[in-house]
Amino acid sequence: MNDAILTTHNLTIGYKTSRKTVRCVASDISISLQAGELVCLLGPNGAGKSTLLRSLAGMQPPISGEVRLLGENIYKLAPQDLAKRLSLVLTEKVDVGMLSA
């Protein structure tokens, strides 16, 4: 029985620079996080920890590959459905201009 909560397959993360070129931070990330499992993400400043977390949470599109949450592609979920399944708190400020309560 596979009780994977979050999986990635050949995930490449990064971002577009001001010149619209792509800056790859990490590539070929394939993971499977199981129910009840505790995971720690460690690394030096600038290693891509926040970029990975934003990509896993659907906040930043990956360069390539896929992220699945409970078997569904996270980038194909409606924002309301994603919010019911996932929450994330990062250190940077969030623009709350269009949030509803």
Distance CA 79, CA 66 (A): 17
Q: What is the pTM of this model?
A: 0.82
List pLDDT tens digits, range 33-48. 998 899 999 999 989 9
Distance CA 20, CA 72 (A): 29
* Res. 92 pLDDT band, cuts 50 70 90: confident
Q: How many residues does the chain have?
A: 101
Domains and CATH numbers, the chain: 4-85 (3.40.50.300)
